[in-house]
Structure 1
Amino acid sequence: VRCNITCTCRLFWSTLGVGLLCKGLLTPLDNNRTYTMDTPICEGSRPAPPPITVHCWSGPRCVSTALMYSFRQRSDTKVVDEPLYASYLARTGAERPYRDLVLNAQSTSAAEVIQSLNEPHAGKFTFAKHMAKHRLDIPLTAFGPASKHMLLVRHPLAVIRSFSKVLPATLEETCYPALLSLASELRTSSRHGVPIILSEDLVRDAEGTLSLLCCALGMAPDPAMLDWEVGPKPEDGPWAPWWYAGSHASTGFGKGGGGPGASAVKGRTPLDPTLRPLLEECQALYAVLSRRALRPRSARPGGGLLSLDSGACPVHRGGTHEYAPDSRNDDTLVGMRDGVTGSFDQVWRPAATVSVLESGFLLGDGVWEGLRLLNGVVLFADRHLARLFEGAAGIGMSIGMTPEQLLRLVYATVDANAMQTGVHIRLMVTRGLKPTPYQNPKTTIGLPTIVIIPEYKEAAPGPQEDGISLFTCHVRRGPPDVQDPGWNSHSKLNCISACIQASAAGADEALMLDPHGFVATCNSTNFFIIRSHIDIRGERQCQVWAPTPRYQMPGITRASVLGLCEQEGIPCRELDFTVTQVYGADEAFVTGTFGGLTPVVRVDGRRIGRGSPGPTTLRLQAAYAALCLSEAERGRVRTLHVACSEW
């Protein structure tokens, strides 16, 4: 042994070396090899490290073969095609036209298969393509600590349509139950969960999807993964002639005749009606998996997909509807009445959807209310329900229940969420399902759709304390013979167009005029000003002015403020007034269910009064807060009784 140390050390190491050499533990020195301090003396004691095995779990017809071909292009990766197939066939007795071929080609022992996957080879990674159902009851721990897992899923309509051309499609054969089970196990056993990608994303944006996947797996993205040579591959399983024609004709994701995604070009045959129940079952499982998928930016509307995590969502800053996000809303239950079946259910918010043929979506055909829950009580429920039912009657829509019954559904929804206070509720009633896009109400199927969305959502303190700004827009409020402004309808484009103009001008909300040029309302709130004058005694007197109700929503909070003015001895008038009189006001404020009373400090860039909330506004704010507490103290029973007795 070459070592520049003392002779004693040389003798010791020489003696030790001879002993180790005789035992076969020391490799003889090669005079043609250069040795360094890093060169192992006992090379047999340092075996090559096992590869990192990436287990790709998917269902049939999910572009999994194309993904295997993609990983095959990497110089550091060995690929294996469905190595647990024989084990699955032997244990389940499943019939396949190529069953004997698989049993003769592969080991039926899952333990032997897993051991072979973890054996060292020249590369750093082993990519094992699996059908999720092939795992059966094999525990994830059996795959070894050097294993990583990923899921590849595709929309069940495409899977069932393609698979059923070769074999009968069943829930087990589609692999969705096995995939969801895997995702759940991996979620609980790993801090980071499991990477899930969608087959459709691979075809649409292979580079973006593969980059995300490789990063999630701790692998460097490799441009070589985007293309491969046409034809069969030596790694193909013996079942390839039955399934791989499209993959063999491809040269990349979506490239080449018959390749992945080619069916979209060729056209698709309608799904066999007998398979529709299976599609419905698979769709429910796919919905969970697809929501957890890694999505490339190209798959996101507008270049960015917002997650259900409140922290990822944009928050409106300024205005009466500014609020602080609350992560509890991610998992709330939404109350939904299906107008076709008549059933009312509490639906997990991420899964709460309506049909694309729903009247509210197609036409904005419906009415709605915003409600506040304080100390377990819906505030001013009788007034809100009266307005809702009046609007529904105005558009010729029968809700199919009494106000009391509807309010009970609202309470059932907030109680299902254990909500008590600081809650805003959107109650929506739309005309219902259409058989085809068409506006005539006679074409509606069943009763109206009812949706109740409760949220932990309170007005941010900033606008209440500092005030907001308004901009007088060119969009006018129309008279009742155009569209009754008293309807709180889903058709809000008149107000939205005003809001767009105000936002473009840098204001929080829009001040809207009536057809005669007088002040009418704001785009989402009711408007008030406070003007003062010197009386005959030489004393300054203030007076609250509210626009006449002819061109505005009959606001619930607006009516409460008018009543509070009388109660507090504050003179108040409903009259026509101009924007010039707004500019000369001492104070201004807006009212709404969500924000209550919000001061207005600027209109069209001009300061109102001192440019800060005035004393009368603050006085009415306090009085309204006390009124809300008093309303809540009366409890639910009275509210239900009033709602019922009025109808």
Structure 2
Amino acid sequence: MYSFAQRSDTSVLDEPLYANYLKLTGLHRPYRDQVLAAQDPDGNAVVSQQLLPPTRGAGGGADSATGGNGNGSGNGSSGGGGVRRVLYAKHMGKHKIGLGPELFRRAQHVILVREPYGVLQSFSNVLEPTQQELGYTALLEIVSELRVLGRQPIVVNSDELVRQPAGVLRALCAALGLPWQDAMLSWPAGPKPYDGLWAEWWYGNTHKATGFDAEVRDARKPLPPHLKPLLAECYPLYDILSRQAIRPLPEAEPVPRPLSAPPPPPGAGEDEGRAGQADGHHPNNHHPNNHPNHLNHHPNKGGTHVYVSDPRNADVLIGIRDGVSGRFELVWRPHARVSVLDSGYMLGDGVWEGVRLHNGVLFLAEEHLDRLWEGAKAIDMELGISKQQLQQLVYDTVDANGMTSGVHIRLMATRGLKPTPYQNPDITIGQPTIVIIPEYKEPSPVPREVGIRLFTVHVRRGAPDVQDPGWNSHSKLNCIAACIQANKAGADEALMLDPQGFVATCNSTNFFIVRKGEVWAPSPRHQLQGITRARVLQLCRQYDIPARETDFYLTQVYSADEAFVTGTFAGVIPVVAVDGRTIGSGSRGPLATRLQTLYTAFVDSYCAGGRRTM
């Protein structure tokens, strides 16, 4: 509403059908009596007298109250002499109750829909949410009614509007047949003369903003348990509406992009290309007790990825860039999904990174994104996004969750949607699927202090001409097979050899030994080029700790003074036994302890300067 109010050709009304809704439903509002006194409670009279006077035609736009869901109808005047020809009338979808069909026949409607988690969080600050109050069902009814009348609904995704205000508003103006005006992008802070009298209850954050890109929303907090069933009900309705949303329009593009997906390749029917949009999760996975954190404390099980269980993870928002539509959305974890026809699910075709968030900063983000891009280039996968843009999407995701520290992020990119199960990468619809999973995930202090046990497995790290071990790929069966054998042996992680029998790496971390005060790292030929590994070697050089990369056998491991592993999540973890042989004293050694301290100090120093842009 504030955006359209800045146009030179538009006047605005704030929910003129509110009194009609309150009268017919009898619902409580803290300002109910004031609204009934200030507005005409006869909705059809409001339509005929304010929204569709006989001397006017059709046009207009839409908005939503309190960051929730709304549909708008408007009209315009063809008169001159400074008369504004477009009337923008903001409504909530539920306000259609008791109205005749005339408003739907003559006015242009736009549906604004927002991700349900934020809607429930905002609404519950003032009133107890219900499905009727939230209005998702009403919005779907409006879309259906418009289609029956032969009118194409215009749907705007509120979250995408905040992320790309200029592009979405350009697309909306083009769809409405209105000229673009730059003034729509900003407005002064504070209350407005056209606000409804309910503004002090609902518009607090909105009044702080001066534009979409500076919009202030409620700080994220977990929903109370009694609202979780309602949230689950809203998501399928939101999905239906959001899939129909208009796409942002670049400044130089004169017409909106088509709403439909690109045609599938020859031999794949449209139904095949879309069939995989179904939920790939088993229904039981939505139950909190099936959350991965509840699997963390396996009896007598240690390891480099043992973490402190955090119930907040059941409610995180996960960022998903759909490669077909190009839309990026933040989705509540129980409803986050990709297609069963996605290349990553079917074939393990993709690359990924694990990144830490510390003091609001993505630790070593540049190096992680460089490695992601290197792997994507190696498998001939064009991500369709720049490193800077992807970094911003990661920050958008953690910000939406109110996260600052103690966070581990799994960043995944797969080749995208397949029209049919088939490995050829050329047979893919759209761009890669990108998923950002942030979790509150503090490492358990036990492995750091007590150490872990390794078991050397028969599964080897392959040569680069088989499957390059330098790819951080979704195809992890080689490492999983190694992990299985280590599990069966009762160890915490697998130690893997290269094809020549030299020590290579562990199944999920990089391996080091210490002999006579010198750090030895296996030659990098048959292992992932670990970012933490490289940083530890750099710290050794910086603090005059002798270190080298070299080939060595298990014999040198068994007789080492110390051993340790490194990883993004693990940091530096001591190894106290390999294949039943005690390493050194059988406890954390002095050099591992020193490197832990140096590495922790480096993390703090790196993240002390605030966010970095690439």
Could you tell me the TM-score, scaled by structure 1's length?
Answer: 0.51
* SS of equivalent to 1:636: coil
**In the alignment, does 2:531 pair up with 1:560?**
no
Question: Quick one: structure 1 residues 631 and 440, their matched pair in 2 at CA, closer, same or farther if it must change by over 3 Å?
Answer: same
Aligned amino acid, residue 470 of structure 2: G
The answer for the alignment partner of 2:526 in structure 1 is 551
- Equivalent pairs counted in the alignment come to 350
**Where does structure 2 lack aligned partners over 5 or more consecutive residues?**
1-96, 98-222, 233-270
Give the deviation of 1:190 after TM superposition. 8.8
Does structure 1 retain, via aligned residues, the 8 Å contact 2:296–2:306? no
Give the deviation of 1:634 after TM superposition. 2.6
The answer for the alignment partner of 2:415 in structure 1 is 431
Aligned amino acid, residue 377 of structure 1: V
The answer for the alignment partner of 1:504 in structure 2 is 488
How far, CA to CA, are the matches of 2:322 and 2:430 in structure 1?
Answer: 9
How far, CA to CA, are the matches of 1:193 and 1:361 in structure 2?
Answer: 28
Question: Quick one: structure 1 residues 569 and 348, their matched pair in 2 at CA, closer, same or farther if it must change by over 3 Å?
Answer: same
**In the alignment, does 2:602 pair up with 1:627?**
yes
The 5 Å alignment of 1:309-328 reads: 312-316=294-298, 317-328=301-312
Question: Quick one: structure 1 residues 192 and 399, their matched pair in 2 at CA, closer, same or farther if it must change by over 3 Å?
Answer: closer
How far, CA to CA, are the matches of 1:346 and 1:609 in structure 2?
Answer: 48
1:395 to 379, 385, 408: 379
Question: Quick one: structure 1 residues 436 and 589, their matched pair in 2 at CA, closer, same or farther if it must change by over 3 Å?
Answer: same
**In the alignment, does 2:600 pair up with 1:618?**
no
Does structure 2 retain, via aligned residues, the 8 Å contact 1:471–1:511? yes
C-alpha distance after superposition, 1:514-544 (max 9, x if no partner): 0000000000000000001xxxxxxxxx100
The answer for the alignment partner of 2:289 in structure 1 is 307
2:570 to 595, 598, 619: 595
Q: % of aligned pairs identical?
A: 62
1:348 to 332, 338, 355: 332
How far, CA to CA, are the matches of 2:389 and 2:229 in structure 1?
Answer: 43
C-alpha distance after superposition, 1:558-599 (max 9, x if no partner): 000000000110100100000010000000000000010000
The answer for the alignment partner of 1:492 in structure 2 is 476
**In the alignment, does 2:424 pair up with 1:444?**
no
How far, CA to CA, are the matches of 1:465 and 1:188 in structure 2?
Answer: 37
How far, CA to CA, are the matches of 1:518 and 1:307 in structure 2?
Answer: 43
Aligned amino acid, residue 518 of structure 1: F
Does structure 1 retain, via aligned residues, the 8 Å contact 2:398–2:438? yes
C-alpha distance after superposition, 1:328-353 (max 9, x if no partner): 00111000000000000111111000
Give the deviation of 1:633 after TM superposition. 1.2
How far, CA to CA, are the matches of 1:570 and 1:509 in structure 2?
Answer: 27
**In the alignment, does 2:378 pair up with 1:378?**
no
How far, CA to CA, are the matches of 1:465 and 1:421 in structure 2?
Answer: 21
* SS of equivalent to 1:413: helix
The answer for the alignment partner of 1:331 in structure 2 is 315
How far, CA to CA, are the matches of 1:335 and 1:191 in structure 2?
Answer: 22
The 5 Å alignment of 1:227-238 reads: none
Give the deviation of 1:401 after TM superposition. 1.2
Question: Quick one: structure 1 residues 325 and 479, their matched pair in 2 at CA, closer, same or farther if it must change by over 3 Å?
Answer: same
Give the deviation of 1:313 after TM superposition. 3.9
Does structure 2 retain, via aligned residues, the 8 Å contact 1:337–1:449? yes
Question: Quick one: structure 1 residues 521 and 437, their matched pair in 2 at CA, closer, same or farther if it must change by over 3 Å?
Answer: same
Question: Quick one: structure 1 residues 475 and 310, their matched pair in 2 at CA, closer, same or farther if it must change by over 3 Å?
Answer: closer
Does structure 1 retain, via aligned residues, the 8 Å contact 2:294–2:309? no
Question: Quick one: structure 1 residues 337 and 412, their matched pair in 2 at CA, closer, same or farther if it must change by over 3 Å?
Answer: same
Question: Quick one: structure 1 residues 399 and 310, their matched pair in 2 at CA, closer, same or farther if it must change by over 3 Å?
Answer: closer
Does structure 2 retain, via aligned residues, the 8 Å contact 1:308–1:350? no
Aligned amino acid, residue 553 of structure 1: L
The 5 Å alignment of 1:469-480 reads: 469-480=453-464
Does structure 1 retain, via aligned residues, the 8 Å contact 2:288–2:314? no
The answer for the alignment partner of 1:454 in structure 2 is 438
Aligned amino acid, residue 289 of structure 2: S
**Coordinate RMSD, CA, aligned:** 3.1
Give the deviation of 1:324 after TM superposition. 1.6
How far, CA to CA, are the matches of 1:596 and 1:610 in structure 2?
Answer: 21
Aligned amino acid, residue 581 of structure 1: Q
Give the deviation of 1:325 after TM superposition. 1.2
The 5 Å alignment of 1:129-528 reads: 307-308=289-290, 312-316=294-298, 317-528=301-512
**Where does structure 1 lack aligned partners over 5 or more consecutive residues?**
1-135, 137-186, 197-272, 292-299, 533-541, 642-647
Q: Which has the larger radius of gyration?
A: 1
Question: Quick one: structure 1 residues 190 and 596, their matched pair in 2 at CA, closer, same or farther if it must change by over 3 Å?
Answer: closer
Question: Quick one: structure 1 residues 434 and 311, their matched pair in 2 at CA, closer, same or farther if it must change by over 3 Å?
Answer: closer
Question: Quick one: structure 1 residues 339 and 622, their matched pair in 2 at CA, closer, same or farther if it must change by over 3 Å?
Answer: same
Question: Quick one: structure 1 residues 313 and 587, their matched pair in 2 at CA, closer, same or farther if it must change by over 3 Å?
Answer: closer
How far, CA to CA, are the matches of 2:497 and 2:225 in structure 1?
Answer: 61
Does structure 2 retain, via aligned residues, the 8 Å contact 1:310–1:330? no
Does structure 2 retain, via aligned residues, the 8 Å contact 1:372–1:423? yes
Aligned amino acid, residue 583 of structure 2: I
* SS of equivalent to 1:307: helix
How far, CA to CA, are the matches of 2:318 and 2:574 in structure 1?
Answer: 33
C-alpha distance after superposition, 1:154-201 (max 9, x if no partner): xxxxxxxxxxxxxxxxxxxxxxxxxxxxxxxxx99999999x9xxxxx
How far, CA to CA, are the matches of 2:439 and 2:320 in structure 1?
Answer: 15
Could you tell me the TM-score, scaled by structure 2's length?
Answer: 0.54
Give the deviation of 1:306 after TM superposition. 6.8
Give the deviation of 1:612 after TM superposition. 0.3
* SS of equivalent to 1:545: strand
Question: Quick one: structure 1 residues 437 and 615, their matched pair in 2 at CA, closer, same or farther if it must change by over 3 Å?
Answer: same
Does structure 1 retain, via aligned residues, the 8 Å contact 2:296–2:309? no
How far, CA to CA, are the matches of 1:508 and 1:188 in structure 2?
Answer: 37
Question: Quick one: structure 1 residues 447 and 575, their matched pair in 2 at CA, closer, same or farther if it must change by over 3 Å?
Answer: same
Give the deviation of 1:386 after TM superposition. 0.6
Give the deviation of 1:499 after TM superposition. 0.4
Does structure 2 retain, via aligned residues, the 8 Å contact 1:306–1:313? no
How far, CA to CA, are the matches of 1:547 and 1:429 in structure 2?
Answer: 29
Give the deviation of 1:636 after TM superposition. 1.5
Aligned amino acid, residue 558 of structure 2: Y
How far, CA to CA, are the matches of 2:287 and 2:499 in structure 1?
Answer: 41
Aligned amino acid, residue 434 of structure 2: I
- Runs of 4+ in structure 1 deviating by more than 2 angstroms, as ranges, are 187-194, 304-317
* SS of equivalent to 2:466: coil
How far, CA to CA, are the matches of 1:344 and 1:465 in structure 2?
Answer: 41
Give the deviation of 1:315 after TM superposition. 3.5
How far, CA to CA, are the matches of 1:322 and 1:604 in structure 2?
Answer: 21
Does structure 1 retain, via aligned residues, the 8 Å contact 2:368–2:531? yes
How far, CA to CA, are the matches of 1:613 and 1:398 in structure 2?
Answer: 44
Question: Quick one: structure 1 residues 503 and 448, their matched pair in 2 at CA, closer, same or farther if it must change by over 3 Å?
Answer: same
Give the deviation of 1:307 after TM superposition. 3.1
How far, CA to CA, are the matches of 1:578 and 1:513 in structure 2?
Answer: 9
Aligned amino acid, residue 576 of structure 1: D
